[in-house]
Amino acid sequence: MSKLTDFKLLSFDVYGTLIDWERGAIAALEPMLKASNKTDLDPKHILKVYHKLESAQQAENPTQKYSDSLATVHPHMCEELGLNHPTAEESEAFGASIGSWPAFPDSVAALQRLQKHFKLVVLSNVDNASFAQGNAGGLEGFKFDAVYTAENIGSYKPDLKNFEYMLRHVKEQFGFEKSEVLQTAQSQFHDHHPAREMGMKSAWIYRPGAIMGNRDDPVWTWKFDTLGEMADTVEKELGEQGK
């Protein structure tokens, strides 16, 4: 069994792992829930509907920007949830909300700790402008070593093309092989299963209670509730190596 500190680079999913996309999406839907007198809808049900529609939209339109994809999904989501039909402006506002979604409370401090030992890159389904907003806001302007988005790649995870793109660029930019890269993510659907198909090891940032991207057959090499726990384990490994 390898150790976390055997790796040289962490490839991060962002939305679900570092930024709380579930809380962000529910908050962005709040105006429609209130207008439709449906504020008592189960958030878990909302998120399952959201995930189903979003995944289908991304598979059918792999080059569509993430914010536009969400705006497209919004009216279908409202219909399936029994909400009022949104205006075009309301759907655009839902798509544009991504940049304001909040980070998990441990994300920034954990990234700062991990950055002492690894190169940190982003492999995200979000578009460049939305990522820049979210990074400047919730992630407090944290400087990643590289950012690879679905907008750059022309497809969405779980498409293996996204992982191939990341590994190719990591090799070109940093000289690291696949065996030195650890996929670090919450979503089984978007990250862990395709990483396994690629022959990569992964760290599952479980985020207890998360709904989006779950599967009944989870796979992982390491599992932590939070990114902070992962940083603790890295520091413990380094401490033991120094003894």
Predicted confidence (pLDDT) per residue in 140-174, tens digit: 999 999 999 999 999 999 999 999 999 999 999 99
Residue 65 contacts residue 151 (beta carbons within 8 Å): yes
End-to-end CA distance of the chain: 20
Boundaries of every domain in the chain: 4-20+102-241, 21-100
Residue 140 contacts residue 108 (beta carbons within 8 Å): yes
Q: What is the pLDDT of residue 137?
A: 94
21-100 in CATH: which number? 1.10.150.750
C-alpha 184 chain-centroid distance: 9
Averaged pLDDT for residues 184-200: 98
Q: Label residue 212 by pLDDT band (50, 70, 90).
A: confident
Q: What mean pLDDT, rounded, does the chain reach?
A: 96
60-113 tens-digit pLDDT: 999 999 999 999 999 999 999 999 999 999 999 999 999 999 999 999 999 999
| Catalytic machinery residues | 13
Q: Which CATH superfamily is domain 4-20+102-241 in?
A: HAD superfamily/HAD-like (3.40.50.1000)
Q: What is the pLDDT of residue 2?
A: 85
33-37, 181-185, 201-205, 239-243: the lowest-pLDDT one = 239-243
Ramachandran angles phi, psi of 223, nearest 5°: -135, 130
C-alpha separations of 21 from 38, 69, 174, 235 in Å: 21, 15, 30, 28
Share of the chain above pLDDT 70, in %: 99
| CA–CA gap between residue 32 and residue 93 (Å, rounded) | 11
Q: Taking CA 19 as the corner, what is the angle to CA 77 and CA 197, rounded to the nearest 5 degrees?
A: 80
Q: What is the pLDDT of residue 1?
A: 59
